[in-house]
Amino acid sequence: MDGKTTITELKEEIRKFNAERDWDQFHSAKDLAIAISLEAAEVLEPFVYKSDAQSKDIMSGTKRQDIEDELADVLWAVLMFAERYDIDISDALRAKMKKSALKYPADKVRGSNKKYNEY
């Protein structure tokens, strides 16, 4: 990966991949929402039953590739949802970041892990 691949390019690759397999029939909003949640849960798997100390070492160990694969699955499912339902995910992310910036003004929350209703 050259680090310059755009979201539009990734969405097109995913669209082609699914079209070649006739898989869009399985990709309702419900299916894709479930897929996003399932794939996100798979990111957790290497951490289950591990101590805090063991968990800190996971990203430098043999499970790193598993986590990369699952993160890719999460992104894949998100981009599939965006592609299928014509959501500009870049615009959606920026809009959400603006909302978060209002909820969490940097001058009020810097260095704090409190939720917006706790400060």
70 or 83: whose CB is closer to Mg ion?
A: 70
We find the least distance from the C-beta atom of residue 109 to Mg ion, in angstroms, to be 33
Can you tell me the distance from the alpha carbon of 108 to that of 111, in angstroms, rounded to the nearest whole number? 9
31 or 73: whose CB is closer to Mg ion?
A: 73
48 or 106: whose CB is closer to Mg ion?
A: 48
Candidates 23-31, 37-45, 60-68, 74-82; binding stretch for Mg ion (CB under 5 A):
37-45
We find the least distance from the C-beta atom of residue 66 to Mg ion, in angstroms, to be 9
Can you tell me the distance from the alpha carbon of 44 to that of 21, in angstroms, rounded to the nearest whole number? 29
66 near Mg ion (CB under 5 A): no
**Of 73, 76, 89, 109, the one binding Mg ion by CB under 5 A:** 73
End-to-end CA gap in the chain: 41
Q: How far is CA 43 from the centre of its chain?
A: 10
Can you tell me the distance from the alpha carbon of 54 to that of 115, in angstroms, rounded to the nearest whole number? 27
Can you tell me the distance from the alpha carbon of 70 to that of 73, in angstroms, rounded to the nearest whole number? 5
Triad 32, 33, 34: Cα angle to 5°: 90
72 or 97: whose CB is closer to Mg ion?
A: 72
Residue nearest Mg ion by beta-carbon distance = 73
42 near Mg ion (CB under 5 A): yes
For Mg ion, the binding residues (CB under 5 A) are 39, 42, 70, 73
